[in-house]
Amino acid sequence: METFRAFRIHKDGGGLRTSLDTVALDDLSAGEVVIRTAYSSVNYKDALAATGRMPIARHFPLVGGIDVTGTVVYSADPRVREGQTVVATGGGMSETRDGGYAAYARVPIEATVVLPDSLSLFEAAAIGTAGFTAGLAVDRMENNGQRPEQGPVLVTGATGGVGSFAVDLLSGRGYEVAALTGKSSAEDYLARLGADRIVDRHRLEMGDRPLEHATWGGAVDSVGGELLAWITRTVRPWGSIASIGLAGGTDLHTTVLPFILRGVSLLGIESPHCPRALRERVWKRLASDLRPRHLDAIATRTVTLNDLTEVFDAMLEGALTGRVVVQLDADG
């Protein structure tokens, strides 16, 4: 392990740029666990960080990649042992500390979970941050009392990584799922994941009343902005909304009426710094009762570090459906 390849984000007078660099372990951020990596994935946040569309990366040069799977080669913490297979997500990776787009990663123990025996390194990477975030959303909603009998759960951004998993996981738990998308070509894909109906984003009539017709039993929203405001006005009494993204904007213009007249709950889903005990619980569920039933349909493309720039551009243009896995040991 003298030197190895890493996809790094640099900042200089010309702005942000990326390159494939040769680095050593001592070049990486400090951490309790060193992983010989196998796979990572491409998340929307990865694309934003690498392109500079949003100021995600705040330390340079920085290895990109907000999640990674692999085998432990060193651990300073007894909760993780050498030789175990693990998944690490969030924890500041690709923001303030080096991430998973490299042959080796040094990661914080709080972001690292030993994989359940039933999940392979590839499967865990295919699930990755997107699937973990969707699992965390469903887990929080159900712990807040959400049940299938409350009615259909709306999933926005349904063809994205988090949205795809949310459709799959909710359907597997017995919920009626309404998948909201602007991609008419994705209807067959979403139906295969378990969507009971498709809601055309271009035909939404949101209205402007403080409370609209109570339609949805709950929602998993990755869009935010005006759409999330509309969801708060249309969820049935005692339904939960899991808010996990901001593709449509950061502002939220609503009133207190959905919360005090219908008992609606707005649950913030923050996966990067999720407590480790909760991480372990959700990953155990992702290997059991929340195990994705259509992982082969969601993760259909595997790339190498050489392909990342192209994939980032396609993701930000909305041209991708589902998940892209990054094979980190492709060069042997």
Is 286 part of any domain?
Answer: no
pLDDT at position 1: 57
Is 323 part of any domain?
Answer: yes
Same domain, 143 and 254: yes
Is 121 part of any domain?
Answer: no
User: Average pLDDT, stretch 265-289?
Assistant: 97
pLDDT at position 50: 95
Same domain, 253 and 321: no
pLDDT at position 332: 41
pLDDT at position 130: 95
Q: For the whole model, what pTM was predicted?
A: 0.95
SS (H, E, C) 125-159: HHHHHHHHHHHHHHHHHHHCCCCHHHCCEEECCCC
Q: What are 32-84's pLDDT values in tens digits?
A: 999 999 999 999 999 999 999 888 999 899 999 999 999 999 999 999 999 99
Same domain, 81 and 192: no
Same domain, 88 and 202: no
CATH number of the structural domain spanning residue 172: 3.40.50.720
CATH number of the structural domain spanning residue 27: 3.90.180.10
| Residue 7 reports pLDDT greater than 80 | yes
The total number of structural domains that make up the chain:
2
The mean-pLDDT minimum among 85-94, 212-221, 246-255, 290-299 falls in 246-255
CA dihedral 186, 190, 196, 200 (to 10 degrees): -30
Same domain, 89 and 9: yes
Where is pLDDT greater, at 111 or 249?
A: 111
Is 279 part of any domain?
Answer: no
CA dihedral 90, 248, 171, 257 (to 10 degrees): 110
Domain with 79 in it:
4-115+294-327
Q: What are 133-184's pLDDT values in tens digits?
A: 999 999 999 999 999 999 999 999 999 999 999 999 999 999 999 999 988 8
Same domain, 92 and 184: no
Phi-psi region of 69 (alpha: psi -120 to 50; beta: other; left: phi over 0): beta
Of 268, 285, 307, which one is at a domain's C-terminal end?
268
Share of the chain above pLDDT 70, in %: 99
Is 332 part of any domain?
Answer: no
Distances (CA, A) of 73 to 82, 86, 105: 5, 11, 10
Same domain, 93 and 134: no
Same domain, 135 and 42: no
Q: What are 93-147's pLDDT values in tens digits?
A: 999 999 999 999 999 999 999 999 999 999 999 999 999 999 999 999 999 999 9
Summary mean pLDDT of the chain? 95
Same domain, 100 and 203: no
- Cβ(166)–Cβ(138) below 8 Å: yes
Is 280 part of any domain?
Answer: no
Describe the chain by its helix, strand, coil percentages, rounded to 5. Answer: 30, 25, 40
Share of the chain above pLDDT 90, in %: 88
**HSE of 314, CA atoms in CB hemisphere, 13 A:** 14
Is 228 part of any domain?
Answer: yes
Distances (CA, A) of 225 to 81, 164, 247, 252: 43, 20, 8, 5
Same domain, 234 and 308: no
Same domain, 175 and 200: yes
Of 268, 285, 305, which one is at a domain's C-terminal end?
268
Same domain, 99 and 136: no
Token output for 202? 């271009």
Is 288 part of any domain?
Answer: no
In angstroms, rounded to a whole number, what is the distance separating the alpha carbons of residues 18 and 9? 5
